[in-house]
Amino acid sequence: MTSIKDVAKAAGVSTATVSRVLANNAPIKPETRDRVLKAIADLNYRPNLIARSLRVQKSAKIGLVVSDIRNPFFTAIGRAVEDAAYEQGYSVLMCNTDEDPDKEELYLNLLHDENVAGVIFSPTHQFNIDAQTYNQKMPFVIIDRAVDSSDVDMVLLDNVAAAYELTEHLINNGYKKLAGLFGDASTTGQERSRGFHKALKDHHLTSVAAHFIAPRIQQGYDTSMALLNQSNRPDAIFTSNSMLTAGAYKAVRDSKLKVPADVAIVGFDETTWGALVDPPVTVIEQPTEEIGRTATELLFQRIQEPSRSPKTVILKGSLIARGSSLKSK
């Protein structure tokens, strides 16, 4: 492995000089610079990032910690973060927590040990943020799920408003017996539940049912099945994430009921399949690109100015009304 020493020798200079032309932060005689550059090219030298990181105690990497990489929402975020980071010359380490606090802690520690410049993550429900101590260790920004602290940068969706809009859309389309399925793994489920109930209340309705369950297709299916078989069958199912939407959709199909005539289905997040099924499903689309990009920018800001006062950015979802909730059709 060729090191800075080899380059220095080949160019007839000291390692300090080589380092300086690399960093480009000190005056160098053009003639010397050329010799060094030539040596670098000749030897096909690339600086050892590990050594650099050890010395300067940081690196051009950021961490991204999410609960499930298979959730299209998070992969979309991942892409956005990666693209934004790439533009700044940073690379991204993606980690899966599986909603497991142990894994979460492990990866956070790992990232810290890797000297990442910062981390973007969506915490599990149990995550106990001690922003004070945490921010000292490394800068970070929270996405998707709120934490109970104002001392940290966050990028969130206005979940209450989005859920309100989605619920009102159902009501405006003539649905009256709404059931809600909410993820129990994060604060988003709770907030969306709030918006759901608020809209009902404002329209003088009450929900037929509201369940907090694990955000998995199977759970969505099972719960929906139970709902559809009960005496007071809902005429619309509101789901708080795409896993539950898929489960609910499947349940309605298997019950030989018609969407949207017998029961409407609405949910969150635009997916490949949402527009493909018949009828396509009405959703609140989250601005994933913007969320990822904003989070990355916020992180870079904090890296540069660690004491900057924390910001919370709240973005709006947009309703995509489709066949699954249009009774008249």
Interface with its own copies by CB under 8 A: which residues? 46-51, 53-54, 69-70, 72, 75-76, 78-79, 82, 91, 93-96, 107, 109-110, 113-115, 217, 246, 249-250, 253, 271-273, 275-278
Peptide bond into 72 cis (omega under 30): no
**Which residues is 210 bridged to in the sheet?**
180
For its own copies, the closer CB: 143 or 200: 143
* 241 lies in the binding site for DNA (CB under 7 A): no
Residue 41 contacts which entry, its own copies, DNA, none (Cβ below 5-8 A, type-dependent): none
Residue type, 249: Y
Site string for DNA, 56-75 (x = CB under 7 A): xx------------------
Residue 225 contacts which entry, its own copies, DNA, none (Cβ below 5-8 A, type-dependent): none
* 40 lies in the binding site for DNA (CB under 7 A): no
* 275 lies in the binding site for DNA (CB under 7 A): no
HSE value, Cβ hemisphere, 13 Å, CA-based, for 27: 0
Q: Which of 17, 122, 186, 193 binds DNA (CB under 7 A)?
A: 17
Q: Which of 24, 55, 148, 231 binds DNA (CB under 7 A)?
A: 55
Q: How many CB atoms lie within 10 A of CB 256?
A: 8
CA gap 189, 242 in Å, rounded: 12
For its own copies, the closer CB: 310 or 323: 323
**Which residues is 252 bridged to in the sheet?**
none
For DNA, the closer CB: 5 or 253: 5
Q: Which of 48, 218, 229, 230 binds DNA (CB under 7 A)?
A: 48
For DNA, the closer CB: 19 or 193: 19
* 136 lies in the binding site for DNA (CB under 7 A): no
Q: Which of 52, 112, 194, 198 binds DNA (CB under 7 A)?
A: 52
Least separation in angstroms between residue 168's CB and its own copies is 26
Distance of CA 281 to the CA centre of its chain: 22
Question: Which residues, 6+ apart, have CB-to-CB distance to 320 below 8 Å?
Answer: 270, 282, 283, 284, 285
Let me know if 278 is exposed, middle or buried by CB neighbors in 10 A (0-12, 13-18, 19+): exposed
Contact 147, 300 (CB under 8 A): no
Residue 88 contacts which entry, its own copies, DNA, none (Cβ below 5-8 A, type-dependent): none
Contact 79, 292 (CB under 8 A): yes
Stretch that binds DNA, among 8-16, 102-110, 293-301, 304-312 (CB under 7 A): 8-16
Let me know if 22 is exposed, middle or buried by CB neighbors in 10 A (0-12, 13-18, 19+): middle
Both tokens of residue 108? 């956070």
* 14 lies in the binding site for DNA (CB under 7 A): yes
* 27 lies in the binding site for DNA (CB under 7 A): yes
Helix boundaries (H) for the chain: 4-11, 15-23, 30-43, 49-56, 72-87, 101-113, 131-137, 159-172, 187-202, 217-229, 242-254, 288-304
Catalog residues that contact DNA under the rule CB under 7 A.
1, 3-5, 12-20, 22-23, 25-29, 31-33, 45-48, 50-52, 54-57
